[in-house]
Structure 1
Amino acid sequence: MNGHIVIGAGQAGAALVAKLRQADPDTPITLIGEEPVPPYQRPPLSKKYLMGEMELERLYLRPESFYTDQRITLRLGTRVASIDRQAKVVVLHDGERLPYDTLALTTGSTPRMLPAAIGGALRGVYPVRSLAHIDLMAGDFAPDTRCLIVGGGYIGLEAAAVAASRGLKVVLVEAMDRILQRVASAETSDYFRALHSSHGVDIREGTGLERLTGDTRVSGAVLTDGTTLDVDFVIVGIGIAPDITLAEEAGLQIENGIRVDARSCTSDPSIFAAGDCASFPHGATRIRLESVPNAIEQADVAALNMAGQQADYGAKPWFWSDQYDVKLQIAGLNTGYDRAIVRAGARAGTQSVWYFCGADLLAVDAMNDPRAYMIGKRMIEAGKSPPLDAVADPETDLKSLMA
């Protein structure tokens, strides 16, 4: 018996080995991760951890003793060189060969970087993805330090919120017409633009980065509108890409990530995938979700199938983002919406945005409005769609729409 091997010690990998041990008490399990620390939470990295409000050990998803107690072998600080599918062997960077019966890829995603040709390789230019990235930039978070953030998606906006809260001078540039343009309605963009502006963040939309300047460390930036800025450091939040290198080199099918079926199985019946790196069937389409809930739930399904059980993954997408004292909660996927209805919340500064395609409810963005989020989520999961005029009417009791 060679056992189960999981490559990628992030949220999905940690969830998968825990569920796999429950489903299969006896078979050896090995979890391989490139980072030298046990699996940890990523969302608090750029918020509570960077702010000094969370210690390293509290980031860990489970104490290291958990893996010992569950007879899960942790191979940390270990890079996989290749997968030999014919021999069913994982080849490590030092040449060691680990045989497997089943293999799971939970390799996650990698941050998109600025090209070296425009200054992306200068010191003081940071992505926001790993513990090492955050530790590197932490020393630059001092009051009145000048920070340029490239990218107006959730990664960039969350970084801006932390920087502004720490007293930094923040300029955020977004090349598209508005922040959050790829993921949210204009109404949600308006809400967060006003929120950040009220905290002193200088948001410049429709403006890209032409190049960064400096000798070995960044000291300035030239924007596409010709503006020049003096900057002390740069945070890059221009998205992430699925980490498919091992899968692609092994000849697995790729389609916006590692292609898996409803049981998280790849084109090789002995290899599974879950989390940010995997694309899966969702209704009549195929999607890839970058979220903690998806990483956990899809990993659980992969684990059950690796243990010989039969389980299908039915995604119920939900997401969140914390910025200043605002918690954004998102239920559903707004892809294909043709109308967005804004509904004021019960308290000042709270609201929700309801996305419809025709009469069908697709998604809800709720800003400090957990009631709207929960009711919208239940409706979406139940396949119910409330009347548009009822949602728009602030006098409508949302709970009554569930009937």
Structure 2
Amino acid sequence: MSFLGQLFRYRPRELRTPLEDFLTEALAQWLRECTAAGQLGQVLRTLFHTAEQQLPTAAALAQVRWGTQHVIYLPGSLAHNKRPDLVGHGPGFFMIIENKVAAGFTEHTGTDGVERVDQLRLYRQYLDTRPEPHKAIVLVTHSTLPPEHWQDPVVSWRRISGFLQRSLALGPGNAAQFMARSLYDFLEEQQMSGVHLELADIVSQPAYLRLQQAMLGLGALGRKALAQAVQALPGQAGAFTVLLPTDKPGAFAAPAFYGAILAERTSGALHERPFFAWAGVLAQPVYSCIYPLNPEVPEVSVGTALWVAGPQPSDAQAAALDALVSALGGAEAGWAWAPVTGPKGELSLHLSNRLSLIDLRQRAGGGHWDDYIERFYQQHLKALLEALTKPSGIGGMTFEQALYAHCA
């Protein structure tokens, strides 16, 4: 994973992805390094289509400062207090760069109460009021189209990626080169550099279809094992239901997950229920927080998750999970638990037993996997569901009661 990819992975996530804001900050830092390296003029001319009459002297360009969240001060105008994504400001020079990945443009009601004015028109109006003799505005976009009135330069992230790639072959390794490499790698990971397939990718289609069919088969065994586990629950079977991926229970669906989910018969979203467990193949992240230990290798897994109220698990929950892992046989039996932050910043606690498909192939010894994986599901589901009903030794509660005493 790239340097920026590692940083992006750990950013707090709101209801929408922070990709646009993150790319804006990364672009700003790269432009700062280009300025320090004396390369800003070339970047503005070649990449951002800035005309010579819009550029100040080389000495002035060397003093340009790049910043995000610039606040427009223009009382009486709709542009007042608006925030362009990225601004470059130096002696006699002012430049606005607006970044869009896939979102539309914010619109504001005009002074007549009828006309709708988009943010780019407001930024252009603001730029026209600036006193600097050299000024420019650029739209950077991935899939968002510019409005019909837009006549200034439009630069795609794909073009930026190509420029970064070419610049990496030039000059010595410096801070600008490091930032160019990091930003280029990140754009590749986000699939914003354009379509590119190696020959191995093209000829892997039959193998991918075989893998998908295999995961469907392993998921079907998980559904069967869950149904049998529910029937075996003495006096409690009616409290649970088995949900299939076709029931669209949250993000538990192909191609991220092949299998089934065991949940209590309560209403609400799956991740809001007091208990749910899963059995199947995890191929990609589910809820952005339940994912294979090795993100590049699908795994067979049995597990349970609960959402908790605070930023950390309570002492009772942590103690109960430690005791439950021990009761299940500990790490030697493949069990482990971990706290994970969810897509909206919520904390979830995961207890699971996992087996990568690579390990599964080795353990199956070259034969069919069905018998082995069926035993894996049955053994671990039986152990997990039985253990949850046993005394935890904490406050006279069962493991289930101790775990869910402080759920969100």
**Common topology (TM > 0.5):** no
Bigger strand fraction: 1
Q: TM-score, normalised by structure 1?
A: 0.24
Higher relative contact order (CA 8 A, sep 6+): 1
Bigger helix fraction: 2
Q: TM-score, normalised by structure 2?
A: 0.24
